[in-house]
Amino acid sequence: MKKFIQKLFPGDSLKAILIVVGINAVAYYLPKVFVVGDYHLMGNSLDAKIPFIPVFILVYYAAFFQWAYNYIVVAHQDNRFLHKYLLAEVFGLVISMLFFIFYPTTMDRGDLQLNGVLGFLIKFIYSVDEPTNLFPSLHVYRSYMCTRAALKANGVSKFYRVFQVILTALVCFAIVFVKQHVVVDIFGGLILGELTVQISKFIFNKFESKGKAFHK
Protein backbone atom coordinates (compact mmCIF):
# COMPACT_ATOMS: atom_id res chain seq x y z
CA MET A 1 0.00 0.00 0.00
CA LYS A 2 2.82 2.35 0.92
CA LYS A 3 4.54 1.68 -2.42
CA PHE A 4 1.28 2.31 -4.27
CA ILE A 5 0.80 5.68 -2.53
CA GLN A 6 4.43 6.58 -3.18
CA LYS A 7 3.89 5.80 -6.85
CA LEU A 8 0.89 8.13 -6.98
CA PHE A 9 2.59 10.86 -4.95
CA PRO A 10 6.40 10.75 -5.40
CA GLY A 11 8.79 12.26 -2.87
CA ASP A 12 7.24 14.60 -0.31
CA SER A 13 4.45 15.73 -2.63
CA LEU A 14 1.73 14.03 -0.55
CA LYS A 15 2.72 15.93 2.61
CA ALA A 16 2.51 19.25 0.79
CA ILE A 17 -0.82 18.34 -0.81
CA LEU A 18 -2.31 17.21 2.52
CA ILE A 19 -1.36 20.55 4.06
CA VAL A 20 -3.32 22.32 1.33
CA VAL A 21 -6.25 19.92 1.79
CA GLY A 22 -6.22 20.83 5.49
CA ILE A 23 -6.24 24.54 4.65
CA ASN A 24 -9.16 23.87 2.33
CA ALA A 25 -11.11 22.29 5.20
CA VAL A 26 -10.46 25.29 7.44
CA ALA A 27 -11.35 27.77 4.68
CA TYR A 28 -14.63 25.99 4.04
CA TYR A 29 -15.82 25.01 7.52
CA LEU A 30 -14.64 27.95 9.66
CA PRO A 31 -17.06 30.38 7.95
CA LYS A 32 -19.84 27.88 8.64
CA VAL A 33 -19.52 28.68 12.33
CA PHE A 34 -18.10 32.21 12.30
CA VAL A 35 -19.08 35.14 10.09
CA VAL A 36 -19.07 38.91 10.49
CA GLY A 37 -22.43 40.59 9.92
CA ASP A 38 -25.59 39.34 8.27
CA TYR A 39 -25.84 37.04 5.28
CA HIS A 40 -26.35 38.70 1.91
CA LEU A 41 -29.05 37.15 -0.27
CA MET A 42 -27.57 36.46 -3.70
CA GLY A 43 -29.43 36.22 -7.00
CA ASN A 44 -31.12 38.43 -9.56
CA SER A 45 -33.62 38.19 -12.40
CA LEU A 46 -31.14 36.25 -14.55
CA ASP A 47 -30.63 33.64 -11.86
CA ALA A 48 -34.40 33.29 -11.50
CA LYS A 49 -34.67 32.38 -15.18
CA ILE A 50 -32.02 29.65 -15.03
CA PRO A 51 -33.77 26.25 -15.06
CA PHE A 52 -33.20 23.51 -12.54
CA ILE A 53 -31.59 20.61 -14.45
CA PRO A 54 -31.03 17.66 -12.09
CA VAL A 55 -28.75 15.67 -14.43
CA PHE A 56 -26.02 18.28 -13.91
CA ILE A 57 -25.55 16.94 -10.39
CA LEU A 58 -23.43 14.25 -12.07
CA VAL A 59 -21.05 16.96 -13.27
CA TYR A 60 -21.07 18.47 -9.79
CA TYR A 61 -19.93 15.15 -8.35
CA ALA A 62 -17.44 14.60 -11.18
CA ALA A 63 -15.61 17.74 -10.07
CA PHE A 64 -14.53 15.99 -6.85
CA PHE A 65 -12.78 13.31 -8.90
CA GLN A 66 -11.32 16.02 -11.15
CA TRP A 67 -9.69 17.71 -8.16
CA ALA A 68 -8.34 14.45 -6.73
CA TYR A 69 -6.80 13.29 -10.01
CA ASN A 70 -5.32 16.73 -10.57
CA TYR A 71 -3.31 16.37 -7.38
CA ILE A 72 -1.81 13.16 -8.78
CA VAL A 73 -0.89 15.00 -11.99
CA VAL A 74 0.79 17.93 -10.23
CA ALA A 75 2.56 15.52 -7.85
CA HIS A 76 4.38 14.08 -10.87
CA GLN A 77 5.65 17.47 -12.01
CA ASP A 78 8.91 19.02 -10.82
CA ASN A 79 9.02 20.67 -7.40
CA ARG A 80 8.83 24.18 -8.86
CA PHE A 81 5.58 23.37 -10.66
CA LEU A 82 4.12 21.59 -7.64
CA HIS A 83 4.98 24.31 -5.13
CA LYS A 84 3.91 27.14 -7.40
CA TYR A 85 0.58 25.43 -7.98
CA LEU A 86 -0.03 24.70 -4.30
CA LEU A 87 0.94 28.23 -3.31
CA ALA A 88 -1.69 29.56 -5.73
CA GLU A 89 -4.27 27.26 -4.15
CA VAL A 90 -3.37 28.46 -0.66
CA PHE A 91 -3.83 32.08 -1.73
CA GLY A 92 -7.16 31.20 -3.31
CA LEU A 93 -8.42 29.38 -0.24
CA VAL A 94 -7.39 32.14 2.16
CA ILE A 95 -8.96 34.85 -0.01
CA SER A 96 -12.15 32.77 -0.32
CA MET A 97 -12.29 32.30 3.45
CA LEU A 98 -12.03 36.05 3.99
CA PHE A 99 -14.95 36.59 1.59
CA PHE A 100 -16.98 33.89 3.34
CA ILE A 101 -16.35 35.44 6.76
CA PHE A 102 -16.61 39.16 6.01
CA TYR A 103 -19.14 39.01 3.16
CA PRO A 104 -21.26 35.96 4.03
CA THR A 105 -23.71 35.01 1.30
CA THR A 106 -26.73 32.77 0.89
CA MET A 107 -29.40 32.06 -1.70
CA ASP A 108 -32.98 30.87 -2.03
CA ARG A 109 -33.10 27.58 -3.92
CA GLY A 110 -36.86 27.73 -4.26
CA ASP A 111 -39.29 24.81 -4.17
CA LEU A 112 -37.59 22.02 -6.12
CA GLN A 113 -38.89 18.59 -7.03
CA LEU A 114 -36.23 16.06 -6.03
CA ASN A 115 -37.17 12.60 -7.25
CA GLY A 116 -35.37 9.42 -8.25
CA VAL A 117 -31.65 8.75 -8.15
CA LEU A 118 -30.70 12.25 -9.27
CA GLY A 119 -32.97 13.69 -6.61
CA PHE A 120 -31.27 11.52 -3.99
CA LEU A 121 -27.83 12.73 -5.08
CA ILE A 122 -28.98 16.35 -4.94
CA LYS A 123 -30.59 15.90 -1.53
CA PHE A 124 -27.32 14.51 -0.19
CA ILE A 125 -25.36 17.52 -1.44
CA TYR A 126 -27.95 19.88 0.01
CA SER A 127 -27.76 18.06 3.37
CA VAL A 128 -23.98 18.43 3.70
CA ASP A 129 -23.59 21.76 1.91
CA GLU A 130 -25.97 24.51 3.00
CA PRO A 131 -26.43 27.44 0.59
CA THR A 132 -23.65 29.53 2.16
CA ASN A 133 -20.02 30.22 1.21
CA LEU A 134 -21.28 31.14 -2.23
CA PHE A 135 -18.98 33.90 -3.46
CA PRO A 136 -16.55 33.10 -4.91
CA SER A 137 -17.48 29.58 -5.97
CA LEU A 138 -14.87 27.13 -4.68
CA HIS A 139 -16.25 24.52 -7.06
CA VAL A 140 -15.44 26.74 -10.02
CA TYR A 141 -12.17 27.92 -8.50
CA ARG A 142 -10.79 24.45 -7.91
CA SER A 143 -11.89 23.17 -11.33
CA TYR A 144 -10.33 26.20 -13.00
CA MET A 145 -7.09 25.48 -11.17
CA CYS A 146 -7.20 21.92 -12.52
CA THR A 147 -7.50 23.29 -16.03
CA ARG A 148 -4.63 25.73 -15.54
CA ALA A 149 -2.47 22.90 -14.23
CA ALA A 150 -3.40 20.63 -17.13
CA LEU A 151 -2.50 23.27 -19.69
CA LYS A 152 1.00 23.68 -18.24
CA ALA A 153 1.78 20.17 -17.02
CA ASN A 154 4.32 17.93 -18.71
CA GLY A 155 3.53 14.35 -19.67
CA VAL A 156 -0.22 14.78 -20.19
CA SER A 157 -2.04 14.21 -23.45
CA LYS A 158 -3.86 16.76 -25.58
CA PHE A 159 -7.04 14.81 -24.86
CA TYR A 160 -6.53 15.31 -21.11
CA ARG A 161 -6.07 19.04 -21.56
CA VAL A 162 -9.20 19.37 -23.71
CA PHE A 163 -11.14 17.16 -21.30
CA GLN A 164 -10.19 19.41 -18.38
CA VAL A 165 -11.30 22.54 -20.22
CA ILE A 166 -14.65 20.97 -21.13
CA LEU A 167 -15.25 19.56 -17.65
CA THR A 168 -14.48 22.90 -16.01
CA ALA A 169 -16.90 24.64 -18.38
CA LEU A 170 -19.56 22.08 -17.47
CA VAL A 171 -18.88 22.65 -13.76
CA CYS A 172 -19.58 26.35 -14.30
CA PHE A 173 -22.99 25.43 -15.70
CA ALA A 174 -23.63 22.71 -13.14
CA ILE A 175 -23.36 24.89 -10.04
CA VAL A 176 -26.24 27.08 -11.24
CA PHE A 177 -28.32 24.31 -12.85
CA VAL A 178 -28.42 22.39 -9.54
CA LYS A 179 -29.09 25.60 -7.59
CA GLN A 180 -25.92 25.56 -5.56
CA HIS A 181 -24.77 28.99 -6.71
CA VAL A 182 -25.75 32.06 -8.70
CA VAL A 183 -24.09 33.37 -11.86
CA VAL A 184 -21.85 35.94 -10.21
CA ASP A 185 -20.24 33.17 -8.14
CA ILE A 186 -18.93 31.63 -11.37
CA PHE A 187 -17.10 34.78 -12.35
CA GLY A 188 -15.79 35.14 -8.81
CA GLY A 189 -14.27 31.66 -8.96
CA LEU A 190 -12.73 32.18 -12.40
CA ILE A 191 -11.24 35.59 -11.58
CA LEU A 192 -9.89 34.30 -8.26
CA GLY A 193 -8.28 31.37 -10.05
CA GLU A 194 -6.42 33.48 -12.56
CA LEU A 195 -5.51 36.08 -9.94
CA THR A 196 -3.91 33.53 -7.62
CA VAL A 197 -2.05 31.87 -10.51
CA GLN A 198 -0.52 35.23 -11.40
CA ILE A 199 0.29 36.08 -7.76
CA SER A 200 2.07 32.77 -7.28
CA LYS A 201 3.96 33.19 -10.56
CA PHE A 202 5.02 36.71 -9.56
CA ILE A 203 6.30 35.55 -6.16
CA PHE A 204 8.27 32.65 -7.62
CA ASN A 205 9.79 34.82 -10.35
CA LYS A 206 10.70 37.48 -7.80
CA PHE A 207 12.46 35.04 -5.48
CA GLU A 208 14.23 33.34 -8.37
CA SER A 209 15.52 36.63 -9.75
CA LYS A 210 16.78 37.61 -6.30
CA GLY A 211 18.46 34.23 -5.97
CA LYS A 212 20.24 34.64 -9.29
CA ALA A 213 21.38 38.15 -8.32
CA PHE A 214 22.70 36.83 -4.98
CA HIS A 215 24.79 34.13 -6.69
CA LYS A 216 26.34 36.47 -9.28
Per-residue pLDDT of the chain (216 residues; tens, 9 = 90+): 888 999 999 999 999 999 999 999 999 999 999 999 999 999 999 999 999 999 999 999 999 999 999 999 999 999 999 999 999 999 999 999 999 999 999 999 988 989 999 999 999 999 999 999 999 999 999 999 999 999 999 999 999 999 999 999 999 999 999 999 999 999 999 999 999 999 999 999 888 776 554 444
- Give the per-residue pLDDT at 134: 97
Distance of alpha carbon 153 from alpha carbon 82, whole angstroms: 10
Distance of alpha carbon 114 from alpha carbon 12, whole angstroms: 44
Q: Could you tell me if residue 133 is left (phi over 0), alpha (psi between -120 and 50 degrees) or otherwise beta? A: left
Q: Does the pTM of the predicted model rise above 0.85?
A: yes
Q: What are the Cα distances from residue 75, in Å, to 54, 72, 97, 155?
A: 34, 5, 25, 12
- Give the per-residue pLDDT at 3: 87
Contact (CB, 8 A) for 82 and 204: no
- Give the per-residue pLDDT at 211: 56
